[in-house]
Structure 1
Amino acid sequence: MISNAESTFMNVRAPMRRMLPNWIKIVLAAFGVLFVLGAIFGPSPKEESAAPSAASTTATPTATTSSAPPGRYLVTEIVDAGTVRVTGPLGVSLVRISGLRTPPANGTGCFGAESAAWARNALMNQYVTLDIDSADSAVASLKLTDGSDYSLLAVQAGYARFATTGTVFDTARKAAEGAAETAKRGLWAPPCLGTIDTPPAPSPSSVAPPAPPVERTVAPPPTPKAAPPPEPTTEAPPASSGGGSAYYKNCDAARAANAAPLHVGEPGYRPALDRDHDGTACE
């Protein structure tokens, strides 16, 4: 049964239906259909607001950084042929390469510049593998990307000396050093000849030639002058000489005066000079 209130409401709505034009009814019906479809298939306001943020997140590229291969270190600095600075899993480290003796880094040794240049060409900006010494974390053996041992290559090419360290590579390094010395490679060639701790000897071209000796004229010793012959003695002869006015003290004086031999009656003859008394003195 319909109550009085419902009857009254129906009575009021009936005239209103009759008063609305048909086109308004059509428009209202169309909006009603669209509202129903939107409620069923349309995204919720939260989903619409979330969609742009998701799209913007997808559109923004994420930055990527290149990293070293696992267990590898990047060589960033060459101090000398036996000391390098690397960056890797343990951060930045200064590493001394085991098994090597290299020229001093301060440039006072022999072949230092050549060794450092070779090491820079072989290692700079290259990824290497380090086998860190258990007794000293600052010392390590170094391998290149192809698996070759760097210290062995340096010794074999003549850019470093072999140092005994007790590793398994000692025999190979020693043999490599012997081959480099025999072939006179690198620091085994002149002027170093295997010495790396002292400066090289100056080349012959840089040494000034010795000054020529000063020629001195030596005067010959003076020729000794012959002693003049003794002058004949002018002493008066004894009364018994019978030889005139000339007098000779002895036969040497007579010979010096070119008067010998003296004969009886000649000037200067006297019996004292005639030993055999034959009449001729100073024979």
Structure 2
Amino acid sequence: MSGWRAVCGVLLVALTAGCATQVQQSTPVAVEKPVENTPVTTSASVPPAQLDLTVASIVDGRAVMLSDGTKAEVSGLAQPGPCWAGAATGFARSMLLNQQVRYDRATGALSLADGTDYALLALGNGAGRTAGTPTPAQKEAEVVAQRVPMGLWGSPCGGKDATETPAAPPPPPPPPPVVTTTKPKVTTTRPRPPVFFATCDDARRAGAAPLYWGQPGYRVELDENRNGIACESRYR
């Protein structure tokens, strides 16, 4: 009888231990409650950069001078051509001048304070062209501007760096020479008859007095005082 009690006591202890083990395994683990109104991001975004750089001046459509004295060239953008360089520079001035920016010196990416990538902004507005090995996003932005067309893809550049100068038209041929069939009219001048006054009275009647030396009708014989004036007034 005592042996049976011993066996029952061993079984009771085993069962009790098994039950304790099950209770311990089924104890729930506390899980931290998620914070409400926490935004879930599904795409990569530009981290909030330390906005300690400002665009001090614009070099051209793809390069700017920063407030720390360094020159920042935006990767993926080509050197502006003569036809659209002015428009690209004006676009960069309106978007970047005196604005806080973030510039990644390793990749050459330039972004605005709100995280907007400037290369994509310029390409999408036709203020830039891709160069080198552009990213798929840069190529897509460029295609969008080409389809409109917008900026450098429109008139007058048409996507070219320089407008074609039309060749100057050839000079007109010289006029044909004028052929005259009529003979030119030859005019002959008859010599005037010599003027002779026998006396000063004749010269006065003819209204030619007084006669000066070298004039027709002047004679020394009519010049009494030999002063070069013949037939002077008698009342002089």
Under a length normalisation based on structure 2, what TM-score does the superposition of the two structures give? Answer: 0.48
Please tell me whether Structure 1 or Structure 2 has the larger radius of gyration of its CA atoms.
1
Query: Structure 1 length as normaliser, TM-score?
Result: 0.41
Higher helix share: 1
